[in-house]
Amino acid sequence: MEVQNSKYTKLDTILYFLYFIGKSIFIAVAILFLLFLLIAFLLVGDRLINAKEDNDYIPLFAGYVIVTKSMVPTIKVNDAVVVKRTDEDKLGIGDIITFRSSDDLYNGITITHRIVGTQRINNNQLVYRTKGDNNNLEDSSVVPVSSIYGKVIFRIPKFGYFQNFIKSGFGFSLFVIIPVLLIIYLNRYSFLQSKQEKSS
């Protein structure tokens, strides 16, 4: 009888550990989901308030995953950056911005580079000169204010790897489906054990 009680205790410990891990992952995913909903709500509200008729609306916040080495070592490949829409009078040399490139080779591509200079062109229009920290030369095209999505406010190291993993079927199963099924199973097991103890 003592051996059986010992085995039961070990099984109970293992199941409780699995329950704790599954519940922790589930709670973390739920918190991330709630944060996503909150951010989405803020962005929708901002768009309703500030959207322009010419469809040139720029979100208050946006996130981008870096795919090139042009900003190494400041920002590495697969790092994510969060940018905030910023007025031109609050942008200056040294700031890192994300913008839509007008370069003939990269027209329309989203780029994150550092402001290295400003100048005035065509009726005193303000434009920015940019350069990747890891590049030898400045970008060949200047950046008008209308092409800037925002100023980088913080970086999330290696988030691109996590994003790609979650997008895969295995990653989604590991972080969402399996923890949910595990919690359901262990809650059912705990309920049955409690019921059995009461009946005995």
Tokens 């051996």 belong to residue: 3
Query: What pLDDT digit, counting tens, does each position of 26-83 carry?
Result: 777 778 778 778 867 776 776 677 665 555 778 888 889 999 999 999 999 999 999 9
5 pLDDT above the threshold of 70: no
Q: Tell me the HSE value of 92 on the side-chain side, using a 13 A CA sphere.
A: 2
Q: How many CB atoms lie within 10 A of CB 152?
A: 22
Contact status, residue 180 vs residue 26, Cβ threshold 8 Å: yes
For the segment 9-27, the average pLDDT, to the nearest whole number, is 71
* Residue 115 exposed, middle or buried by CB count within 10 Å (0-12, 13-18, 19+): buried
Q: How far apart are CA 85 and CA 93, in angstroms?
A: 17
pTM of the model: 0.68
- Give the model's pLDDT for residue 187: 66
Task: Tell me the pLDDT band of 195, cut-offs 50, 70 and 90.
Answer: low
User: pLDDT > 70: what percent of the chain?
Assistant: 74
**Residue 15 host element (H or E):** helix 2-50
pLDDT, residue 6, reads 46
What was the pLDDT predicted at 119?
94
CA distances to 19, 28, 51, 181 from 31, in Å: 18, 5, 29, 18
Q: Which one of 3.20.20.10, 3.40.718.10, 2.10.109.10, 2.40.100.20 gives the CATH number of domain 58-163?
A: 2.10.109.10
pLDDT digits (tens, 9 = 90+) for 82-101: 999 999 999 999 999 999 99
Q: Where do the CATH 2.10.109.10 domains begin and end in the chain?
A: 58-163
User: What are φ and ψ of residue 130, in 5° steps?
Assistant: -130, 165
Is residue 199 scored above 50 in pLDDT? yes
Q: Are 153 and 83 in contact (CB under 8 A)?
A: yes
Q: Give the three-state DSSP class for 62.
A: strand
Q: Is the pLDDT of residue 122 over 90?
A: no
Q: Which residue from 126, 121, 124 is spatially nearest to 148, judged by alpha carbons?
A: 126
Model confidence pLDDT, tens digit, residues 106-116: 778 999 999 99
